Structure 1
Amino acid sequence: MAEHRRGANLPSIGGFNRTVVLDAVRRSPDGLSRVELAGRTGLSAQTVSNVTRFLIEAGMIVESGTVVSGRGKPRTILRLEPGSRFAVGVHIDPAVVTYVLLDLAGTVVASTTTSTPTADDPEQVVRTMASAVEDLVRTSDVDVDAVLGVGIASPGPIDVDAGIVLDPPFLPRWKDVPLRDALAEATGHPVLLEKDVTAAAVGEMFLAGESSARNFAFVYFGTGFGVGLVVDHEPVRGTGGNAGDAGHIMVEQGPFAGTPDGQGDRGEVGAAVAPERIVRIAASRGLDLGDVTDLGSVDRAWDAFAAAIDAGDPRAIELAAETGTVMGRAAVVIVNLLDIDRVVFGGPFWSRVAAAALPAARAAITESPILVPKHPVTVVETDRGADVAAVGAACLVLDAALSPRASALLIRR
């Protein structure tokens, strides 16, 4: 395998000006004229003309109609061509692995899942995942050369530089799995590895378009609890790429205190809202969600929990609200620490209880007696769906290949 097809060496559309123009067009669903592009990007008319010619020839933008604005000849509108390039996103969850295919606009054009393979045989893990990626692209009738790369969202801790999944607590047999380079070798695509909460935050930022918030926290509720952070439009990764492990934040348990597992008045938020624990609390309150014996049964019990909420069961609604309250109390610590003005909730377990949990989480944040910032704090649910980590993983690729980077302007000797 040629070195340029390995690991994190993603293809680039070449040059800062090209990414600036493409990014401006991507963030404008109605399209932009060349004059508008020059105004928005600060580039000269000649540069915009040269760059747009390249992007049109590459098939990434298209001329789409004209508009008349004042005197002078009509202006040609340029729009993104979403189907010109694609990215694959992979989310490794302890129960299932989710695969999505995104076009340039960030639309999910195909998705599939497989059961999570054990990592007793790392080679089998790679074979299973590579086969699923190849099948996803093939069955979508997408030209393999139009795929920019594969992004992987994994529970932490990971070694982001080496591309290794170290030893996630919910994946006990996954230890030192060299996933990034092995999957690149197996698929022929460049591959990026990122912690799941960071991938979710990158997806939220990349797909927000012109409304993208500069600073926000993405509260991720899956098998584990974590927080992805974006500060000044940059994801916070930390020294080793493992920022966002917020499960050990201590919070008041509220109605959860004195539950069957003996939790006290205060405890770690990750343990407090663990889905398996919530299901046990539901049972203690007479809400039968089924027996819980493994990760799969927890997921099925959570489906039953969601169904009870949708059916208006007051016990389910109250328990989901209490869960949202505890997560909101943890989020207040992050809001105070970073002085952010937006909190986004999401993740595979969140989406199913959001109807009852979001209002409670919002109140726990905005009405908190310990909230320090005096500016309004917006608290919302992501609209990326339950597969937000997989979507975010694909956005890692799109963002790395297509978004402007100031570092590209540095003069290298």
Structure 2
Amino acid sequence: MSEVLERIWQFQQISRVELVEHTGLTSGTITNLTHELIGLKIIREFEAVSGNVGRRRVMLGLDSSLYRIIGLDIGRATLEVVVVDLNGKIIKSIERDMSERRGPDEYFDVIGPLLTETKREIENAGYTVLGLGTSVPGPMDYSTGELLNPPNFPGWSGFPLQRTLEERFGMVTLIEDDARTSAMAERWYGLGRNVQDLVFITMGIGIGGGVVSGGKIVRGTNGLCGQVGHMTIVIDGKICDCGNRGCWETVGSIPGILGRWSGGGSMEQLREAIRQGDAEALRCLEDTLGYLETALINVYNLYDPELVVLGGRLYPYLADYLLPVRNHLRSRLYAFAKDRLRIEPSTFGTSQSAVGAAALLFGFLLSEPVRLLALAEGG
């Protein structure tokens, strides 16, 4: 069933005959499986369309009429809740400023009412909540759902986030590092639909990365795969909260950039100084782009991705310089690989992590649809 469902997701609309061709299953098996998926209201038949030789075909696609997924992004400065359908369409988005709040108790003062009301609204409208996906700054212990001293996120170390969410809101709950959820947003709903190997880099208060290889998220032995913000960029540089010295995050994140500029306290002020030709601001920009290029060349040589996606709250301030960054990178890559260089902006902007959190449940649905539906009904 999962193979059939994944093919329907991949092609968005596909006929039963084409499913037979792409899966190698018999037409009888395809008929039975698709009938069951239609009965579960995971897929539906679309209007018949004309085929290449004039014959009319019935197409199959995801059914957005019943199920909803909630995505929660717990960030260092903001919190966002989104509701998406099975196609990744954002039905609702709510964002809150958390810059003055610290630790789980103060965060849950906001999370509690938001999730309770969001779930109530969905159910009152006649939809079924499949579950809650949550993105949060890592690292974390995936066996317990506890956070492990995330850099620049005081008060959360050892907090049992997954258990707390499950107990308080009664939903199937999955949690993941925010950079990895961002990667999964692209994998399931965005630019990575037909890409097997990609790296998502999120740049904001911190810098993180999510690695997708062979279509699957990669965590590594200690859950540290993709921690690109903590690769050493400046030898003998500042000590980072992670314990390393000279991390990219210490110089390339928003606090790192503003810490190297004496002119003000916000990226908007820095951008304005750059527009006015301020020499120090221009040097700060040049250094920032140099650190970005160095980090990206390391990412390409380490992970060999087909696609690198850049996002996060810092990206809009660097977007105008992406073309020269690409050109410089091409001069530093292996000659046979430089023409395959592909760097793109994220699909969902500032909602990337929250949409990716919801995508965790979508990935569960594709792999084990009957089990997830049973768990969702039990919750």
TM-score (norm 1): 0.77
Q: Does 1:135 align with 2:117?
A: yes
Task: Describe the shift of the 1:96–1:38 C-alpha distance in structure 2 as closer, same or farther (beyond 3 A).
Answer: same
RMSD of the alignment, in Å? 3.0
SS of equivalent residue, structure 1 residue 398: helix
Structure-1 separation of matches of 2:262 and 2:65: 48
Contact 2:15 2:58 in 1 (8 A): yes
Counterpart position of 1:276:
255
Contact 2:204 2:314 in 1 (8 A): yes
SS of equivalent residue, structure 1 residue 212: coil
Counterpart position of 1:344:
309
Q: Give how far 1:152 is off.
A: 1.2
Q: Give how far 1:22 is off.
A: 2.3
Contact 2:232 2:247 in 1 (8 A): yes
Q: Give how far 1:317 is off.
A: 7.5
SS of equivalent residue, structure 1 residue 250: coil
Q: Does 1:225 align with 2:207?
A: yes
Structure-1 separation of matches of 2:16 and 2:205: 47
Give runs of aligned pairs for residues 227-376 of structure 1, distance below 5 A. 227-251=209-233, 267-284=246-263, 289=264, 292=265, 301-305=266-270, 313-314=276-277, 319-320=284-285, 322-350=287-315, 352-368=316-332, 371-372=333-334, 374-375=336-337, 376=340
Aligned residue identity for 1:328: E
Task: Describe the shift of the 1:74–1:215 C-alpha distance in structure 2 as closer, same or farther (beyond 3 A).
Answer: same
SS of equivalent residue, structure 1 residue 132: helix
Unaligned 5+ segments in structure 1 are: 1-16, 259-265, 293-300, 406-413
Structure-2 separation of matches of 1:229 and 1:24: 22
1:118 to 84, 89, 102: 102
Contact 2:139 2:150 in 1 (8 A): yes
Q: Give how far 1:211 is off.
A: 4.6
Q: Give how far 1:304 is off.
A: 4.7
Contact 2:307 2:341 in 1 (8 A): yes
TM-score (norm 2): 0.83
Give runs of aligned pairs for residues 46-125 of structure 1, distance below 5 A. 46-69=28-51, 74-116=56-98, 117-119=101-103, 122=104, 125=107
Contact 1:87 1:394 in 2 (8 A): yes
Structure-2 separation of matches of 1:364 and 1:271: 23
Q: Give how far 1:320 is off.
A: 4.6
Counterpart position of 2:139:
157
Contact 1:26 1:209 in 2 (8 A): no
SS of equivalent residue, structure 2 residue 187: helix
Q: Which stretch of structure 1 is more off in the superposition, 101-110 or 56-65?
A: 56-65
Q: How many pairs does the alignment contain?
A: 357
CA shift digits 1:220-256 (9 cap, x unpaired): 1021112211112111111232322222323369xxx
SS of equivalent residue, structure 1 residue 226: strand
Unaligned 5+ segments in structure 2 are: 238-244, 370-379
SS of equivalent residue, structure 1 residue 27: helix
Q: Give how far 1:322 is off.
A: 4.4
Task: Describe the shift of the 1:224–1:373 C-alpha distance in structure 2 as closer, same or farther (beyond 3 A).
Answer: farther
Task: Describe the shift of the 1:106–1:334 C-alpha distance in structure 2 as closer, same or farther (beyond 3 A).
Answer: same
